[in-house]
Chains A and B, each alone.
Chain A
Amino acid sequence: MIDLLKVENLVVGYYEDINILQGVSLEAEREDITAVLGPNGVGKSTLLKTICGFLTPSSGEITFKGDSISGIEPHKAISKGLVYLPQELTLFHRMSVKENLQLGGWTIRGDKELVQERIEENYERFPILREKADQSAGNLSGGQQRMVDLGRALMSNPEMLLVDEPTAGLAPNLAGAMYDRLISLSDEQRTILLVDQNIRKAIEVSDYIYALELGKNKTQGPREEFEDVKEVIKDWL
């Protein structure tokens, strides 16, 4: 199996000489859910932001489908088939659900029929969004906003999703539904790189796991090796 995404020795910081990531490497296989775990502040979100171009690495290499994408401009990542879902919701609050979805199809805006088709797909996926199509995204509940966020990300039909804390701030039942959604996305032949604080649940849904510690790789392995979750958590506390 060829790796879809490969990150080698990534060094990144917000300021000179203070590097959040100090040589992180990882690989994500096609159609897998790969999780990046670790305590607060080890650079999990920084890793995702760098892969999709929101931050520029000071050294290291990122390749996607064999092409180097280190330091790619953020708006170009999506046309490569890579879409980023930040932890904080980034919806256009004063636009309708439908407009949010339409803008998710920005890169395919030339093909109005395709945009409409993808919006329909999203309505099938999240029937509630059809009902709320003309409401402002800002007036939806937290769970529904997450659906719009995910739906918007799927408009470009990405091969890979970089998902940062998808269940932050969600009630447990909604969080469960979100994880089911991620699994079904991976069944749709999409690759997912997941960053999560909810270690137990993330291990449950993932195929392969990387653990980071203070900006470096700590350990990695397939799910089975991480199944003794309690041990992992205790290790970090």
Chain B
Amino acid sequence: MISGQSLASLLLSAIVRAGLYTLTATGLSLIFGVMNVPNFAHGELYMIGAYIAVFCFAGLNLPPLVAILLAAIGGFIIGAMIEKSFFYPLRQRSKRRKIWIMNTFLVTVGLSLLLKNVIQAIAGTKYRGIDSYWQGGLEVAGISISVDRLVGVAIAAVVILAFWLFLQKTTIGKAIRATAQNETGAKVVGIDLNNIHTLTFALSSMLASIAGASLLSLNPAYPTMGLMPLFSSWFVVILVGLGNIAAIPVGALIISLIETFSAYSVGSGWQRLFSLGLIIIILLFKPRGLFGSDVKGVWER
């Protein structure tokens, strides 16, 4: 049996992990919803965020929040550059929509390899971690919680809330949602899709970078660190239905609870089996995802 204390600390780990998955899965879902790109290079933006943060914090001795902010800005800029140099020219030359998803899938797989190797060439294969951004922790009822974890969860919550408000309330946010809902309609009202695509990719990359940067003390930076959050984010996105951004925090919590508890009770390395098993079962009975969203990629409606 799990004791009350370890239960509480497991729950806490699950929540921290859920915050991370929410950040990465939101971008993944948005990129697919707006651009019809299944992004398998998303984990590398998470990795780049971690590297920027470790460089700024440990290398340049900048304050933690500044390091995380610079990682966010770096993720945004790199995301914009990737969109403009890979997907924009591809889109200009793709007339047949059917092969677009496969083409972009392959592009993202290639990008993922490229980014991993570029980083490896620059920074090597060593783990580059930090002990903590902030010293100390809290002791609540016998459970110790590091300040880093608390701040990590808080950053995820604040960023997701701000991003959600941006999508719901601002005209540009509405234009992004409009493009996901009806691409022709967006063109008809005069929205320049090229700008929307670049912005969407940049913002999504920024979210992934923030995730990588803010959990640096738990997950040190190394070139292939993006694979685990990439897969888990895809699990989340598939679980709640592609394009269903509002339900992502719930899906992220489900996946991270399963992963955390199965790793604890069966052994780490087995957690994938359980989350994948759940997804197979859900997709067998609810092919559109847990919440039956009718949202798909732009070109599939």
**Contact surface of A with B, Cβ cutoff 8 Å:** 54, 73-79, 83-86, 88, 90-95, 99, 102-104, 106-107, 109, 152-153, 155-156
Are the CB atoms of A103 and B174 closer together than 8 Å?
Answer: yes
- B178 part of interface (Cβ distance < 8 Å): yes
Known: A75-B193, A103-B174. A92 touches B182 (CB 8 A): yes
Whether A90 and B188, one on each chain, are in contact in the complex, defined by CB atoms closer than 8 angstroms, is yes
CB <8 Å contact, A103 and B187? no
Is B59 interfacial (CB 8 A cutoff)? no
Do the beta carbons of A94 and B190 come within 8 Å of each other? no
**18 extra interface residue pairs, beta carbon distance < 8 Å, beyond A77-B190, A103-B178:** A54-B187, A74-B188, A78-B189, A79-B190, A83-B188, A88-B184, A90-B184, A92-B177, A92-B185, A95-B181, A99-B174, A102-B174, A103-B186, A106-B171, A106-B190, A106-B191, A156-B189, A156-B190
- Which residues from A are CB-within-8-Å of B182? 90-93
**CB pair A84 B174 closer than 8 Å:** no
How many chain B residues have a CB neighbour from A under 8 Å?
A: 18
A-B CB contact pairs (8 Å), 12 listed: A54-B187, A75-B191, A75-B193, A78-B189, A90-B188, A93-B182, A95-B174, A103-B178, A103-B191, A106-B175, A107-B189, A109-B171
- Per the bound structure, the CA–CA distance linking A137 and B175 in Å amounts to 15
B243 to chain A, nearest CB (A): 10
Q: CB within 8 A of A95: which of B171, B178, B188?
A: B178
A88, A95, A155 — most chain B CB neighbours (10 Å): A95
A19 to chain B, nearest CB (A): 16
How distant is B295 from chain A, measured CB to nearest CB, in Å?
A: 8
Could you say which residues of chain A place their CB within 8 Å of the CB of B188? Answer: 74, 78, 83-86, 90, 153
- Central interface residue in B171, B178, B186, B190, by most chain A CB within 10 Å: B190
Q: Which residues of B in the span 181-217 have a Cβ within 8 Å of any Cβ on A?
A: 181-182, 184-193
Q: Say whether A75 contacts B187, CB under 8 Å.
A: yes
Chain A residues, CB < 8 A from B184: 54, 86, 88, 90
Closest to B189 in A: A106
Contact digits for B103-137, partner A, Cβ 8 Å, 1 yes 0 no: 00000000000000000000000000000000000
> For residue A88, which residues in chain B have a CB less than 8 angstroms away from its CB?
184
Q: What are the residues of chain A within 8 A of B181 when measuring CB–CB?
A: 92-95
- The 5 A-B pairs at the shortest CB distance, nearest first, are namely A90-B185, A78-B190, A74-B187, A92-B181, A107-B190
